[in-house]
Structures are given as C-alpha cells and as structure tokens.
Structure 1
Amino acid sequence: MSRRDDLHFSVRRTLEKDGWTITDDPLILVLEQTLLKADLGAEKFFTAEKEGYKIAVEVKDFDAVSVISELEKTMGQLQLYQWALAEQEPERQLYLAVSQEIYIKHFQKPIFQLVVKRNKINLLVYELRQEVILQWIKH
C-alpha cells in the first residue's frame, strides 16, 4: 500500500474515532461536466436540535520533491473542489488534512501561512500514529 493510501485510511479512522460518519469515500464532485474526487466526505451530528455539520476532506502529505509545486497543485485542487461544493453541496465545508509533523514542518513557513490565509483554507491537523485530531483551523 502506498503512503498516500496509508494516510487516507489513517485520516478516515481518525475522523471515525472522533465521531464522524464517513458518507463518501471518495466524495465525487462535478464541475462543468468534469468529475472531481475529494478524498472523503463526512458528517458529524452535534445535538438533536442542530443540523448535521458536513465536511469534505482532502488529505495531503507534502512529500514531493518540490514542496512549493505540491502547494501549487493542492491550491488548484482545493479551488476546484470549493467551486464544485458551492454548486452541489454549499453546506459542506472543505478541509485540508495534514499531519502534525507536516503542519509544523511546512505550515509555519510564511509562504504557507500566506496561501492558507489568502485562500481561506480550513485545516484539519491530526496525529498520525495515535489517529487523533489535534486542531481544526477554520478560515
């Protein structure tokens, strides 16, 4: 199994441990007759009085030779997913899932902080080995 698959299933288990129900794996989106696949769709119900909170999750490891090229590619993917979600499921919030190690290694850099802030990227930071969510960062 590839590292990407390992991360995918780890994030899925992490969300399930946190009480999320995985509704789509992958989440299929359509934008101008083009199929797009976000890694996961999930729902979590907080209380009986509230509607379910829905998310779409893209998992990234930023393990490419050029981390900036990977960032550029990821931003393009997230923008397409956001556009498709706005049309298909506007109630679903998009999150980029990264491990704590990657968050510390890359997302503290000014270029990453600028990209996240300007593009209003929501982050889900998780601990890979223990499979727990450490932070929800909403922009």
Structure 2
Amino acid sequence: MPAKDTYHNAVKNALIKDGWTITDDPYFIQYEDADLYADLAAEKPIAAERQGQKIVVEIKSFIGRSLMYDFHGALGQYIVYRNLIQLTAPEYTLYLAIDDIVYQDFFQRKSIQLITKENRLLLMTVEMKKEEIIQWID
C-alpha cells in the first residue's frame, strides 16, 4: 500500500466534520492488470446536503520540488484514477483534495485554470490547520 499524503488525516477529518462517512481508507481500484489505491472513499448520508453521493478523494500536498511538477503528477494520477473508477465503480465521483492556499496561489493561474477545465478536474479545497472543507469546485 502507498504511503499516506502529508495532509491525509486533515482531509479525512474535514470530510467527517462535513458529515461524510469514510468507507475506505485507502480505496482500492482494480481493473484487469491494474491495482491502484486512491486515498479515501466517502459517502454522504441521504438526509445530508450532497444526498447519497459517493466520492473517492485523492489528496495532494504540493510540497515537492515545484508546484508545476507536482501538478503534472497529480493531474496524470487523477485522470488514470477517474478513467478506471468510471469503468469499475461509476457511482463514485473522484475529487482531488488540495490545500486552500495552494488553490489560491497556484490554481488561479490562467494556464492551470485552462488545464483544470479541459481535463474536468474536480477539486475539494481544505483549510488544513482547521481541518475544514472550504469549497467544492465542479
């Protein structure tokens, strides 16, 4: 199993605070010859805001050698996971969880917004110290 991201527990706690039930930690993706692990899967109870929704969350800290390098890796991983989840568990929606400061400082660049839009990247921004979800970006 892969190592947990730096922000794994903060994102997990933020989801729980927001009323999500963690169903898998990690979430196993298996398709033919591919065995992969996304960070989390969660479900929102029927009575809650995102009624009956099931999500898979891949968490990225963006603390590597450069933000652009980390973005390349995160985007590629997101696309692979999304494609395989659509085939194996289409009831789930994949989100990339990132720090709200990274979103403000990096994801607001015009080039990053273009790539995010073109690749239908769904984001969840989290205030890591408070362990709170700031926004869902669909």
TM above 0.5: yes
User: Secondary structure in 2 aligned to 1:58?
Assistant: strand
Instruction: Give the Cα separation in 1 of the matches to 2:38 and 2:59.
Output: 9
Q: What letter matches 2:60 in structure 1?
A: K
Percent of paired sites with the same residue: 40
Alpha-carbon distance in structure 2 between the residues aligned to 1:79 and 1:121? 8
Deviates more, 1:62-71 or 1:121-130: 62-71
State the Cα distance separating 1:31 from its structure 2 match.
Answer: 2.9
Q: Secondary structure at the match of 2:103?
A: helix
Which residue of the partner structure matches residue 80 of structure 1?
80
SS at match of 1:125: strand
Structure 1 regions of 5+ residues with no counterpart? none
Which position in structure 2 is the counterpart of 1:91? 91
Query: Could you tell me the TM-score, scaled by structure 2's length?
Result: 0.90
Q: Between Structure 1 and Structure 2, how many residues are aligned?
A: 134
The answer on whether the counterparts of 1:25 and 1:39 sit within 8 Å (CA) in structure 2 is yes
Partner deviation per Cα, 1:6-54 (whole Å, 9 max, x = no partner) = 4001100000011100001110101332111111000002429x96200
Task: Provide runs of 4+ in structure 1 moved above 6 Å.
Answer: none
The 2-side partners of 1:102 and 1:130 are apart by: 15
Map 1:25-64; keep pairs closer than 5 Å. 25-47=25-47, 52-64=52-64
Q: Distance in 1 between matches of 2:5 and 2:75?
A: 20
Q: Which residue of 2 aligns with 1:120?
A: 120
In structure 2, how many angstroms separate the alpha carbons of the residues matched to 1:6 and 1:38? 14
